[in-house]
Amino acid sequence: ALPPSAAPALPCTAHGDPATVAEITRGLLARQAATSPKYLYDSLGSRLFEAICELPEYYPTRTEAAIFARHGEDIARRVGTGATLIDLGAGNCAKAASLFPLLRPKQYVPIDISREFLNEAVGRLRQRFPDIAMNALALDLSGPFMLPAEVAPQRRVFFYPGSSIGNFAPHEAIAFLRRVRENASHYGGLLIGVDLIKDAAVLDAAYDDAIGVTAAFNLNMLRHLNHLIGSDFDVRQWQHVAFFNAEESRVEMHLEARTALTVRWPEGERHFARGERIHTEDSYKYTRDSFADLLAQAGFHADDVWTDTAGWFAVMHARA
Ligand code: AVI
């Protein structure tokens, strides 16, 4: 039997804009229910993701950091100093900040969907690096975007670490990178982190850690959805499921109903059978060659790659 919830989950007022509500409810009503992974990142979700990055099982963050530590000077030679560094999905801005001493950007433009989280991070960073101009932008990068005029047009270098590109399906990744390229200037570039295909057991553990931080990260999406669409998801009725799907070359995250249940929101409802799932995230894994090919399809030319000794992760540079 399920433990009773501490408080009854009552439908509340929707706080998302009508387009957001429509997008989420369409996904919930689809035969295979699915939600965009961007809804994993409310303020708590962003903090849980920070915690994931510290887990021993979650190798991408520390492996990428080791690549930057070992090859930083080489990377800086390739990227060049004095650029406009545009950090796509910046989060706490820590990765870019660790490269400031080597890359010495003229302007730093962190972009993230979570405005509150971003503003806090940039506030702290301004005090540490008073000589770098900083313009934080709260933008949703999942659709078309155009950088505002305050972003210096000279030598725009896009920084997209952490293999966040893996959260797009390959055709979406190509479309996204094309949009990035449209925003790049002459001599602009892209410095991107890519998670590579490896043993399934390593991947499974990275997305289903022993102390349940990734489970909390995934389940927290239901609280966020309740806030956005006024639904009555009871988090205790759901469980985290994650596994590597080798055929699709991706780790999938789902939320699985522990029991038969009905979720209600102001304009609708959905019944879930026991074991039925909501597909919440994909994290695609590549080879160096398959990713260079994807870059080429987006109009970028990959001209350098750095990896760790085990070949688990790659940092690639591409010219626009
Ligand atoms: C942000 N993104 C690259 C992470 C990933 O590995 O796909 C999100 C994540 N999901 C579960 N753990 C981490």
What's the average model confidence in pLDDT over 234-246?
A: 98
Q: 176 CA distance to ligand 1 centroid (A)?
A: 18
> Is 310:65 a contact under the CB 8 Å cutoff?
no
- Flag the least confident range among 118-127, 215-224, 251-260: 118-127
Q: Backbone phi, then psi, for 95, in 5-degree steps?
A: -65, -50
Which of 46, 49, 204 most suits a substitution to test ligand 1, by most atoms within 8 Å of the C-beta?
49
| Model pLDDT for residues 103-134, shown as the tens digit of each residue | 999 999 999 877 887 888 899 999 999 999 99
Tokens of 241: 């499921």
Q: Tell me how far apart the terminal alpha carbons of the chain are, to the nearest angstrom.
A: 56
Pairing of strands 156-160, 84-88: parallel
Neighbours of 212 (CB within 10 A): 12
On the question of pLDDT at 12 being above 60, the answer is no
On the question of pLDDT at 20 being above 90, the answer is yes
Residue nearest to atom 11 of ligand 1 (CA): 207
What's the average model confidence in pLDDT over 296-306?
A: 97
Provide the pLDDT for residue 9: 43
Provide the pLDDT for residue 5: 39
Choose among 318, 310, 320: nearest CA to 67.
310
Q: Percentage of the chain surpassing pLDDT 90?
A: 82
Q: Where are the alpha helices (DSSP H) in the chain?
A: 18-29, 43-52, 59-79, 94-103, 115-128, 170-183, 200-206, 213-229, 288-297
CA–CA distances in Å: residue 132 to residues 109, 248, 267:
10, 42, 48
| Model pLDDT for residues 57-89, shown as the tens digit of each residue | 999 999 999 999 999 999 999 999 999 999 997
Q: 280 CA distance to ligand 1 centroid (A)?
A: 11
Residue nearest to atom 12 of ligand 1 (CA): 207
Choose among 205, 214, 264: nearest CA to 52.
214
| Model pLDDT for residues 139-180, shown as the tens digit of each residue | 878 788 889 989 998 899 999 999 999 999 999 999 999 999
11 — pLDDT class (breaks 50, 70, 90): very low
Residues flanking ligand 1, CB < 6 Å: 52, 60, 162-164, 166-167, 207, 214, 281, 283
Q: What ipTM describes this predicted complex?
A: 0.99
Q: Where are the alpha helices (DSSP H) in 129-196?
A: 170-183
On the question of pLDDT at 52 being above 90, the answer is yes
Which of 167, 168, 250 most suits a substitution to test ligand 1, by most atoms within 8 Å of the C-beta?
167
Taking the mean position of all CA atoms in its chain, how far away is CA 220?
15
The residues, any chain, with a CB within 8 Å of residue 219's CB and separated by 6 or more, are: 235, 238, 239, 240, 255
